[in-house]
Amino acid sequence: MNKLLQITVLLGGPSAEREVSLRTGRAVAGALRSLGHTVHEVDPLDPAWELPAGTEVVFLALHGTYGEDGTVQRRLDAAGIPYTGCDAESSRVGFDKRLTKECCVAAGVPTARFTVVTDATAPWPSAWEPPVVLKPVRQGSSVGLQFVDRIADWTAGLTEALRFDTEVLVEERIIGRETTVGILGVAALPVLEVRPKSGAFDYRNKYTAGATEVFCPAEFDAATTARIQAAALGAFHAIGGRDYARVDVMVRPNGDPIVLEVNTLPGMTELSLLPKAAAAAGVGYADLCQRMIAMALLHPVSPTGGNSV
């Protein structure tokens, strides 16, 4: 039987993904309580937040800036408190779409052609043809995502994407099937395919019940499934990931997988994709949360000084 622990769930926070994080955190807290753990919920919206006395491990249910970019991980490292998910450096890299793609290129992991723009007055990139996708470099949950199908829409899309970050990733739009692969421990979970009922898999379709059809396991032949999972694992290892993540992968009509990004603290709401993939592998929601805690406790920690929590 698993040891009962004093667990603090960090949820909410200051990012653009605050509402989703609150939903993730409440779901996780409920699951951990159902297993008998003592669970505290702390919203680090105030920079002076502190962990409750006796906290043995932190479950990170934060998304977006501060929670997913390595900031809170560095603070917990300084205090010597174990936490779920990727460490500070791989979180920093995984949250930065440009750095992630550079790591993928260096590791030979297939990813979409890209460039980075910082100026709303920048011209259409030479030698490119539409369609392209514009993504704030350091945001998640499709915050600020823009699809540009015509050069005439370039400036408007770029201006909107730059509202959410000082850098925008310009990416070749891959036409194909949209999949995601959960990573749990050292293994890839079953491939999951998403099909929005209308439009793209954007923020609205991600978090609106019934807006997107989900197929898990996705209907690919065994060889294509293995290639998709291998690409996802390759991206996870390329950024130095640990314990778990979710990797978004487009699949071209010929079956070639193209990695888009790595989500180092994937959603854990009732609509989230990682729990669905885990369920397809026979891992229930509460068990998934317990496994994440168990993996966190395997990493050695020691206080390094800095701000107390």
Q: Is 246 a catalytic residue?
A: yes
Q: Is 263 a catalytic residue?
A: yes
Mean pLDDT of the 207-223 span = 85
Q: Residues 98, 163: one domain?
A: no
User: Which burial class, exposed, middle or buried, applies to 250 when counting CB atoms under 10 A from its CB (0-12, 13-18, 19+)?
Assistant: buried
For residue range 64-97, list pLDDT tens digits in order.
999 999 999 999 999 999 999 999 999 999 999 9
For the chain, what's the residue count? 309
Q: How many whole angstroms separate alpha carbon 269 and alpha carbon 61?
A: 10
For residue range 256-306, list pLDDT tens digits in order.
999 999 999 999 987 899 999 999 999 999 999 999 999 999 998 877 654
Choosing from 15, 21, 141, 272, the catalytic residue is 141
Q: Give how far the C-alpha of residue 226 lies from the chain's centroid of Cα atoms, to the nearest Å.
A: 21
Q: What is the pLDDT, as a whole number, of residue 198?
A: 60
Q: Residues 219, 256: one domain?
A: yes
| Measured CA angle at 233 (ends 231, 234), to 5 deg | 60
Q: Residues 101, 120: one domain?
A: no
> 3-state SS string over 41-76?
EECCCCCCCCCCCCCCEEEECCCCCCCCCCHHHHHH
Q: Is 207 a catalytic residue?
A: yes
Query: Hey, what are 21's tokens?
Result: 């994080």
Residue 2 confidence class, pLDDT cut points 50, 70, 90? confident
Choosing from 91, 142, 205, 263, the catalytic residue is 263
**Mutual orientation of helices 88-95 and 71-79 as an angle, nearest 10°?**
180
pLDDT at 207 over 70: no
Q: Is 17 a catalytic residue?
A: yes
Choosing from 68, 77, 178, 248, the catalytic residue is 248
Evaluate whether residue 74 is within a structural domain. yes
Q: How many whole angstroms separate alpha carbon 120 and alpha carbon 159?
A: 5
Q: Is 267 a catalytic residue?
A: yes
Q: What is the pLDDT, as a whole number, of residue 190?
A: 98
Q: Residues 102, 196: one domain?
A: yes
Q: How many whole angstroms separate alpha carbon 3 and alpha carbon 47?
A: 31
Evaluate whether residue 16 is within a structural domain. yes
Q: Residues 20, 157: one domain?
A: no
Q: Residues 40, 134: one domain?
A: no
Q: Residues 131, 228: one domain?
A: no
> 3-state SS string over 118-182?
CCCCCCCCCCCCCCEEEEECCCCCCCCCEEECCHHHHHHHHHHHCCCCCCEEEEECCCCEEEEEE
Mean pLDDT of the 158-171 span = 95
Choosing from 83, 261, 272, 285, the catalytic residue is 261
CB atoms near residue 43 (< 10 Å): 17
Q: Give how far the C-alpha of residue 255 lies from the chain's centroid of Cα atoms, to the nearest Å.
A: 24
Choosing from 12, 13, 15, 17, the catalytic residue is 17
Q: Residues 100, 183: one domain?
A: yes
User: Quick one: what percent of the chain has pLDDT higher than 90?
Assistant: 86
pLDDT at 201 over 80: no
Evaluate whether residue 301 is within a structural domain. no
Q: Give buried/exposed letters for 85-107 (b at 16+ CB in 10 A, else e).
A: bbbbebbbbbbbbbebbbbbeee
Q: What is the pLDDT, as a whole number, of residue 209?
A: 59
pLDDT at 1 over 90: no
The mean predicted confidence, pLDDT, of the chain is 93
Evaluate whether residue 271 is within a structural domain. no
Choosing from 246, 272, 285, 291, the catalytic residue is 246
Choosing from 66, 83, 207, 244, the catalytic residue is 207
Q: How many whole angstroms separate alpha carbon 2 and alpha carbon 172?
A: 46
Structural domain range at position 260: 93-111+175-264
Query: Hey, what are 270's tokens?
Result: 């009732």
Q: Omega of the bond prior to 131 within 30 degrees of 0, cis?
A: yes
Q: Last residue of some domain: 125, 157, 172?
A: 172
Number of domains in the chain: 3
